[in-house]
Structure 1
Amino acid sequence: MNPEDLEFLPEQGEPLQLMVLLHGVGSQPAHLRPLADVLRRQFPQAAVLVPAGFEPFDAGPVAGHQWFSVRGIDEDQRVERVARSLPALLARIRAEQARLGVEARATALFGFSQGAIMALEAVQADPALAGRVLAFSGRYARLPEQAPPETTIHLFHGSADPVIDAAHSRAAMQHLSGLSAGDATLDLAEGVGHELHAALVDRALHRLTHHVPLRLWQAAMASPGN
């Protein structure tokens, strides 16, 4: 573990949920502390973990971290770099699930910017990794051929994002809606840029507490008597 990692456990009792927050490129776990605090208040029995990116930031003087390098990146290189960085992240999440005794279906991955890319691609690489992904201001490295059947994808984006265009989230939502077993939502905040805006965080809480995953609806409808 990195000494900059943040970990918050329930004040009493064992954790019933696991929430893993992945920061953006060149950032640090502390930058996601406000989101972690919101989640802890809303879900007091959740374990909230904010790991540091596994590599030092290499594209500027900022003393932050990255999940993969963006130096000289293009569309093909993004796919390759994400693929190289995923095994370590998957192993970390699986290890935390085992340590804390929380199942995949009770695990939620949150990501901002580059962290959103990692969260989205993590459940493509391991479709049984998490019950939900909440991706803020992010994108897929490459739009998936199949939707993870056990995962609900929640996309959040500012319409005026100058770093990762909101068109990526719109395209992802349209694409996921057309895939078999795809379960996804999209929330856009008008005039908001590349940030974890309070309006988007509020929508994330609403999705977590009100959205019933498609797979649960389907199971209920398939039960005897329906």
Structure 2
Amino acid sequence: MTTTLARLPDDGAPDLLFLLLHGHGQTPDAMRPLAEALAREYPQAAVLCLQAPLQADDPAGSGKPVDGYQYFSRAGINDDNRAARVQAALPAFVATVRNLQQQFSMSWQRTALAGFSQGAIVALEAVQVEPQLAGRVLAFGGRHTTIPDHAPTDTTLHLLHGLADEVVPATPVIDAANALVLLGADITADILPGIGHQLHPRLIDKAIEQLRTFLPRRLWREAMSEAPVLSKPASSKELDKP
């Protein structure tokens, strides 16, 4: 897996790491609008657009390669085989994330995965199987392969989807979000009308808003643990207790 598009700080070491993952049949350049928005908002971040490891194939099953790249084949894909295909792609993807974290001396808490379509699917499933892989996931036009049976520990999920998406319908996204809420996940789900299967500017704006305003439960917990314990004078009733 290679990086062909990067936005790095002008000076000094990065303090955040964003890894952007394109969809089926795309190249890293497809994630440029999101990369530029993140770089503007977080100028001290390293924003890397990764290229999926496989040459894309024809979803119609012709066996012929098509332009762009893929994490897993879409030829003949259905609800029965999708999960297995995604699971097969995860070890190499997780290894890539870990290598980049080591390269940039970045903790998992300060790493975010942001994917569109197939890239979003891989990101969502990766944090389900690999604890402490990333602090946040931005999933544009993607979904879980199955309804999750547990929440990723201390990872915040931001689901960003178009209600008019006919490639990845919104219903499975909403179902997974509801399940994750019941499982205690840190999650937001923004389903915007009038948007199809695309990395739409409105979805990007919503993602930036969520990054700026949503405080993960992990940070609340850390803040409360560091808060000073304030003593109070004992009342006369308390002093009278044996």
Structure 2 distance, partners of 1:220, 1:100, is 26
Partner in structure 2 of residue 175 of structure 1: 179
Query: What TM-score, normalized to structure 2?
Result: 0.88
Structure 1 distance, partners of 2:37, 2:9, is 14
Structure 2 counterpart of 1:145, one-letter code = D
Structure 2 distance, partners of 1:125, 1:184, is 17
Match for residue 137 of structure 2 among 112, 133, 136:
133
Structure 1 counterpart of 2:192, one-letter code = A
Structure 1 distance, partners of 2:223, 2:28, is 39
The yes-or-no answer on 1:66 pairing with 2:66 is no
Structure 1 counterpart of 2:190, one-letter code = D
Structure 2 counterpart of 1:148, one-letter code = P
Structure 2 distance, partners of 1:38, 1:83, is 30
Give the aligned length: 224
Match for residue 195 of structure 2 among 185, 189, 192:
192
Specify the SS of the correspondent of 1:133. strand
Structure 2 distance, partners of 1:39, 1:162, is 27
Structure 1 distance, partners of 2:10, 2:219, is 30
1:218: how far off?
A: 3.5
The yes-or-no answer on 1:114 pairing with 2:118 is yes
Partner in structure 2 of residue 151 of structure 1: 155
The yes-or-no answer on 1:76 pairing with 2:83 is no
1:114: how far off?
A: 0.6
Query: What TM-score, normalized to structure 1?
Result: 0.94
Aligned sequence identity (%): 47
1:219: how far off?
A: 3.9
Structure 1 distance, partners of 2:110, 2:223, is 19
Structure 2 counterpart of 1:166, one-letter code = A
Structure 1 counterpart of 2:194, one-letter code = G
Q: Kindly indicate whether the alpha-carbon contact (under 8 Å) linking 2:55 and 2:66 is maintained by their aligned counterparts in 1.
A: no
Match for residue 219 of structure 2 among 202, 216, 219:
216
The 5 A counterparts of 1:6-21 are: 6-21=5-20
User: Unaligned regions of 5+ residues in structure 2, if any?
Assistant: 60-64, 231-242
Structure 2 counterpart of 1:50, one-letter code = C
Structure 2 counterpart of 1:28, one-letter code = T
User: Unaligned regions of 5+ residues in structure 1, if any?
Assistant: none
Q: Kindly indicate whether the alpha-carbon contact (under 8 Å) linking 2:117 and 2:142 is maintained by their aligned counterparts in 1.
A: yes
Single out whichever of 53-62 and 143-152 deviates more from structure 2: 53-62
Structure 1 distance, partners of 2:176, 2:4, is 30
The CA deviation string for residues 137-162 of structure 1, in whole angstroms up to 9 with x for no partner, is 11001222111111000000000001
Structure 2 distance, partners of 1:81, 1:126, is 17
Q: Kindly indicate whether the alpha-carbon contact (under 8 Å) linking 1:138 and 1:168 is maintained by their aligned counterparts in 2.
A: no
The CA deviation string for residues 174-194 of structure 1, in whole angstroms up to 9 with x for no partner, is 0110003x1100111111101
Structure 1 distance, partners of 2:192, 2:214, is 19
Q: Kindly indicate whether the alpha-carbon contact (under 8 Å) linking 1:156 and 1:169 is maintained by their aligned counterparts in 2.
A: no
